Amino acid sequence: MSAKVEEIRLNLPHIELAAHLYGPEDGKPVLALHGWLDNAATFHRLAPKLEGLRIVALDFAGHGHSGHRAPGASYLLWDYALDVLMVAEQLGWQRFSLLGHSMGAIVSVLLAAAMPQRIERLALIDGLVPYVGEADRAPEKLGEALQAQLDLRAKRKPVYAQIERAVDARMQGVGAVSREAAELLAGRGLMPTAGGYTWRTDARLTLPSPLRLTRAHARAFVEALQCPVDLVLAEQGMLSGEPLLLAWLEHLPLSVHRLAGGHHLHLDDEAGAQSVADCFNRAFQAP
């Protein structure tokens, strides 16, 4: 499907973010948040199929065409949540909805739980809460994260002689995707460099988290949600192998839609995008 999309820039006090803009000016305001190491192109198939919405699909900081954070700054989930709030402030949106995939869904949950007065509705795709860690392993994990920051100086991004090689690599990356999906993500995520092409993403995005929420923290955020929540679970997605999370879903205040497809079912093909759109169109049209 050919998407009518506008490229925009958002100048926040601390960073410049890029975004794709979809939908009518008078549509319901929605900020769309992509997954880790992806970019705004993840919504290329889905956004045009969502009816009556004014969608701003961000490139998160360090991703796509957005700026990288300053030296010494971090890419923690709550840093993204603040970016999202500041984008809404710039757009003049006091109340808005969030459409999130994977990491974008996690950021959506954290923000909606922390600032319920700002969020109208959540539409989540194969993501809900971050990977958790318990207190007894926190010192060990912090040490690993600090060492990884020191070691990063010696690491170099991969360079691909042809764009096709980068597409092949993305097909096998985190949350394996179809070739068409990989081409869309790579088209926005690559830049020329000596010897070929490399990823625009900030290398710091690959660092391990210095501190993880506990299971109790994660559940508290979900239980604090006050807005309607629709969660699409991909049958071959990344959440399908999380038995603890699947058990939670039986008791949490969410509308769950189980659909065929992988972690990027909204981008892999038109059929998957339409099935996700059908779920969310019903949700956004509800009173």
Cα 101 to Cα 239: distance, rounded to the nearest angstrom: 12
Choosing from 66, 74, 97, 102, the catalytic residue is: 102
Nearest to 123 by CA among 98, 153, 93: 98
Give the CB-side neighbour count of residue 15, counting CA atoms within 13 A.
Answer: 25
Do the Cβ atoms of 187 and 164 come closer than 8 Å? Answer: no
How far is residue 109's CA from residue 55's CA, in Å, rounded to a whole number? 18
Residue (of 237, 180, 173, 184) closest to 206 by Cα position: 173
- Spatial CB neighbours of 282, under 8 Å, sequence gap ≥ 6: none
Report which residue type is found at 23.
Answer: G
Q: Does the annotation mark 102 as catalytic?
A: yes
Structure tokens at 138: 């926190």
Copy the structure tokens of residue 83: 């970016």
Cα three-residue angle 201-69-266, rounded to 5 degrees: 45
Pairwise CA distance, residues 109 & 225, whole Å: 7
Strand 28-33 with 53-58, pairing: parallel
Report the distance separating Cα 6 and Cα 155, nearest Å: 35
Enzyme catalytic residues: 102
